Homo-oligomer: A and B are copies of this chain.
Amino acid sequence: MQAGFSFALEAADGPARAGVLTTPHGRVATPLFMPVGTAATVKGVDIGRVAETGAGMLLSNAYHLHLRPGEDAVDRAGGLAAFMGWPGPTLTDSGGYQVFSLARQVKVTEQGAFFRSHLDGSPVEFTPEASMRIQERIGADVAMQLDHVVALPAPREVVAAAMRRSLRWAERCRSAHMRPDQALFGIVQGGLEPDLREESAARLREIGFPGYAVGGLSVGEGPEAMDRTLRATVPHLPADRPRYLMGVGQPRDIIEAVAAGIDMFDCVLPTRCGRNSLVYTFAGQVRLRNACHASDQRPLEEGCPCPACRHGRDYIRHLFLAGEMLGPILASIHNLTFYQRLVSRLRQAVMEGRFADTRRELLATLAVAGSEQSPQE
């Protein structure tokens, strides 16, 4: 692996793993959940409070930072971590996903993605080389290759073509990437087709990366299809490198992905749901706007050390009904804390060789509030 970077496995329990990822900005334990700071801020949460949730590494987004404030501004401030005031490691997504989800008038060619900014309609060019140049200027510890993401379901030939294009872009990213204090991860594509996933993983291993991501999941395929695809993909990734499942997901998804051998995660759900008054607990989801919480002075979760849980549910519900910013702030902090406590429990279970029991127990209690499902957000 690259100088300044290493990944050490500390324990395994079946396919589930516990390890330590070392970066130029410090070490983080895995399984690892990265809060999402799209525009160099975890929405609604100051960086000190982010640290207090137990987070070790943050994700930000090359597409958003390129458009605003621009990679030069981030570089001038000393790079992403310094810009955000974050003392630990960071990772930037390449922009591949946003090109397809946010940009207007996208044209994707073999050369790259050409599109108009979702902010002002100005023309922008995201080639593999441009994404590397931008991510190097932003200066996260880990950069991601540019990939071609397609929405599922999609015809097999479309999925295969996007996967093979992503492989060619992976090579171009590998060639263009120069920054020695930044690790570049490859991204496995291939939709829900096991053989395409295997082909993608094998070819990425040949190119050689210090870490491997699984992309193109949690795009509408449903949890069972995701689990199945992970179990078909992860065995083809090298055991001595970190494995990162991009953009996932619900707590049950994370548990099942760790069970399949994934080490790293990021997801907007804790903050997005928090802003919408949906709260995660180990006894299932809580919809704070529901009238049943109007006189409930219990915290969101007994034993949770977060600042939200110093208040009663009645208070936080009041904040949401009154349209007060503090409602989204506190619910986001709580949810981020929940996700850190979740991966911490999974890690502990792997270390102690009781992952199967912990997995079963967590899935059972998390499913209790089945009546309080997440909205399609």
Contacts and interface: CB of A to CB of B under 8 A. Distances in A.
Copies of this protein in the assembly total 2
Interface string A24-60: 0000000000000001111111111100000000000
B314 A77 contact: yes
Nearest to A275: B325
A4 interface: no
A325 B322 contact: no
A365 interface: no
Most B Cβ at <10 Å: residue of A45, A297, A311, A325: A325
Interface stretch (A199-207, A233-241, A326-334, A336-344): A326-334
A349 B49 CA distance: 35
Interface string A298-341: 00000000010011101100110110111011100100000000
Interface residues of A, number: 39
B330 A46 contact: yes
A85 interface: yes
B45 A326 contact: yes
Given A76-B295, A319-B41, A325 B324 contact: no
Interface string A66-77: 001100010011
A84 interface: yes
A43 B326 contact: yes
A297 B74 CA distance: 11
A100 interface: no
Contact of A315 (B85, B294, B295): B85
27 contacts: A39-B318, A39-B319, A39-B324, A40-B315, A41-B324, A41-B326, A43-B324, A43-B326, A44-B325, A44-B326, A45-B326, A46-B326, A46-B333, A48-B307, A68-B318, A68-B321, A68-B322, A69-B322, A76-B314, A77-B297, A77-B312, A77-B314, A77-B315, A85-B310, A85-B315, A325-B329, A329-B329
A184 to B, nearest CB: 26
Given A39-B322, A76-B297, A85-B311, 17 more contacts: A39-B324, A41-B319, A43-B324, A43-B325, A43-B326, A46-B326, A46-B329, A46-B330, A68-B321, A68-B322, A69-B318, A69-B321, A69-B322, A73-B318, A83-B314, A85-B315, A325-B329
Given A46-B49, A77-B297, A294-B73, A83 B325 contact: no
Interface of A: 39-49, 68-69, 73, 76-77, 83-85, 294-295, 297, 307, 310-312, 314-315, 318-319, 321-322, 324-326, 328-330, 333
Contacts of A48: 307
A317 to B, nearest CB: 8
A243 to B, nearest CB: 31
A82 to B, nearest CB: 9
Contacts of A329: 44, 46, 325, 329
A13 B128 CA distance: 69
Contacts of A321: 68-69
B40 A318 contact: yes
